Structure 1
Amino acid sequence: MESLLLDKKLKHITNLILEKKEEFSKQKKYEEKDIQQQLEPWRVHLIQIYADSVSTNDTKNFEVLEEWGREVANLLVVLQLPLDVALEEISYYRNVIGEIIKEEAKAETFTFDAFYQVISRFNVVVDKAVHWVSKSYMTDFANKIQSARYAIDELSIPVVRITKEIGVIPLVGDLDTNRAQILMENALQHGSDYKLNWLIIDLYAVPIIDTMVADQIFKVIGALRLLGIQVVLSGIRAEIAQTMVNLGLDLADITTFSSLHQAVEYVNQAD
């Protein structure tokens, strides 16, 4: 009987919170009106989850909360807002809802055990909200940085079409494994799309040629040849030539030049 009475009181608190969820969602203001409008729907959702946690101890609450955390994190990343925004919101509505629970518990003369049970369950939900938002935000943020880095790397390895059948890839900076993969993808994709007969890979601005870099370049050359595209290397400085010799690299069947100008001149004559 006491259990049924407590459940009825808890349901009353849940309904009381839900009746005011729209009002609560507008209490916290941001200067940017657009951001304010986009934050309100997930505030309402958070208040709904908080309210349900008062009267139910269902694992579905946590599943809903996890999905909410992903949505919020994605919104923050899209709006370029810091994680602190979500954490402040979670904390703010913890206090708003917590105050309602406290006042209603007083009015309904909850026992200490009953109040502890309710507030503990509520705090677990709040802690889970912090956990899922933080985890999802860091994942989304890392993915966004990775995508941006990939886009920058891709733009830094362009295939420049100088005639209908001749293209140039001017490499700049260190060629790590990731950029080597982009070099392969861009060379094959654009070489095929442009229907190139020749592709000049200019190494003048590549500071270091080691075994890994040389191996990647040779793989690109081999793949391009399978497409019927001839490859010329330019920008072979003295130190690069010496490094290649020291590494025992066989350049016998690869045409090389010290400058891009010489390579372009050669290819124009050969084409």
Structure 2
Amino acid sequence: MDKLIIQMFNKNRQEIFNRWMEEMESIREDHRLQNISDKAYKDTNVEFFNIIFAHLERNEYKANDELTDFAEKLFQLGWRLSYLTQGLQNFRRIILSVLFDTEKSSTKVFDMFDEIDRWIDPIINQLINESAKNWENTVSIQKVALQELSAPLIPVFENISVMPLIGTIDTERAKLIMENLLTGVIKHRSQVILIDITGVPVVDTMVAHHIIQASEAVRLVGAQCILVGIRPEIAQTIVNLGIDLGQFPTKSTLYKGMQSALEMTKRKITETE
């Protein structure tokens, strides 16, 4: 940017800052930032203001790094992208207003429009990109966390484990189920695995195929599966589709499956007086 323009901005920096802070305070409630202390709110906006001016006064790469760090920090704290972009739009409008107030030549002010856009627009674009990266990273982390929790193998008795399945089973999740089953069988020395499909809304040919594959893989490492949670509607669907689940035992409830598992490991449930 032209050095004379930079000097003019710096000359009016305090006035720009004061007017901008008034604008930012007026939109604070709209962006649900009332719970933030006044000091933290002001300090954050001061930092934001200084970073905006850093794109005028410093090396572009250094200023971009500062903006990236600032945006990441705010997004992690729950601040909205819309707050930052609105702040930049307010900043642009205030600068133009100050220019009109201080410059006698309107022609000179209009000549600065492109310079101001080349200053502010890249900052907005970078904030949008950082927000997108933050969102993608959050979604990725949540996806991994959900995958880790979506097919746990839980040891409940010696040599007996349960895998509760909840939600839709797709090909990617089926691979995870298979991996967790095989790893868990070895880790917990399980002889019987109860696969509980009570929370699976739909059992179609693909889901049944994945379950059969998992059961066969478990059998090959020396354990046996019992499929539990067969609801009447699921049983009807399985019959209508002609799916053969005769390769391993099935039970309507986890309790009945547990009884069978105990019998298979030479134990049983007894009542005490």
TM-score by length of 1: 0.71
The alpha-carbon deviation at position 233 of structure 1 amounts to: 1.1
Q: Is 1:144 aligned to 2:150, yes or no?
A: no
SS in 2 for 1:162: strand
Conserved in 2, the CA contact under 8 Å of 1:18 and 1:48?
no
**Matches of 1:213 and 1:116 in 2, distance apart?**
65
Match of 2:268? none
- The one-letter code sitting in structure 2 at the alignment partner of 1:81 is W
- How many aligned residue pairs are there? 254
**C-alpha deviations, 1:12-67, integer Å up to 9, x for none?**
33654789999899775565134544454343212211x349xxxxxx74x66765
Secondary structure at the aligned position of 1:204 is classed as: strand
Residue number among 37, 43, 64 corresponding to 2:49 in the alignment: 43
Secondary structure of the residue aligned to 2:92 is: helix
Q: 1:67 to 1:7 in 2, by over 3 A?
A: closer
Give the CA deviation at 1:266.
2.1
Structure 2 unpaired stretches of 5+ = 29-33, 266-273
Distance 1:139 1:218 in 2: 39
- AA in 1 matched with 2:53: I
- Name the residue aligned to 1:57: none
- Partners of 2:147 and 2:42 in 1: CA distance: 35
Q: Give, in angstroms, the shift of residue 161 of structure 1.
A: 1.8
Could you report, residue by residue, the CA deviation over 1:167-195 in whole angstroms, capped at 9, with x for unpaired residues? 11222343344543543454344444434
Match of 1:133 in 2: 127
In 1, the alpha carbon distance for the partners of 2:182 and 2:72 equals 34
How much has 1:85 moved relative to structure 2? Answer: 1.2
Correspondence for 1:207: 201
The gaps in structure 1 that reach 5 residues or longer are 1-5, 54-59
In structure 2, what is the equivalent of residue 218 of structure 1? Answer: 212
Return the match for 1:9 from 4, 12, 23.
4
In structure 2, relative to structure 1, the CA distance for the partners of 1:131 and 1:236 (3 Å cut) is same
Match of 2:261 in 1: 267
For residue 77 of structure 1, what is the amino acid of its counterpart?
A: F
CA RMSD of the aligned region, Å?
3.8
Find the aligned partners of 1:180 and 1:237 in 2 and give their Cα distance.
Answer: 21
Equivalent-residue separation in structure 1 for 2:113 and 2:217 (angstroms): 65
Is the 2:21–2:45 Cα contact (8 Å) retained in structure 1? no
Rounded Cα–Cα distance in structure 2 between residues aligned with 1:41 and 1:73: 11
What is the SS of the residue equivalent to 1:136? helix
Matches within 5 A, 1:39-188: 39-49=45-55, 51-52=56-57, 61=60, 67=65, 70-99=68-97, 101=99, 106=103, 112=107, 115-145=109-139, 147-148=141-142, 151-152=145-146, 154-177=148-171, 179-188=173-182
Residue of structure 2 aligned with 1:254, choices 230, 243, 248: 248
Contact 2:16 2:94 in 1 (8 A): no
8 Å Cα contact 2:20-2:94 kept in structure 1: no
Deviations 1:57-100 (A, max 9, x none): xxx74x66765664454334312222221122212332444455
Deviation at 1:237, TM superposition (A): 3.5
- How does the TM-score come out when normalised to structure 2? 0.71
- Specify the alignment match of 1:56 in structure 2: none
Question: Amino acid of the residue matched to residue 10 of structure 1?
Answer: I
Q: Which amino acid aligns with 1:83?
A: L
Determine the C-alpha separation between the residues in 2 that align with 1:248 and 1:97: 72
CA-to-partner distance for each residue in 1:132-186, whole Å, 9 max, x for gaps?
3234324423542454355346435433321132111222343344543543454
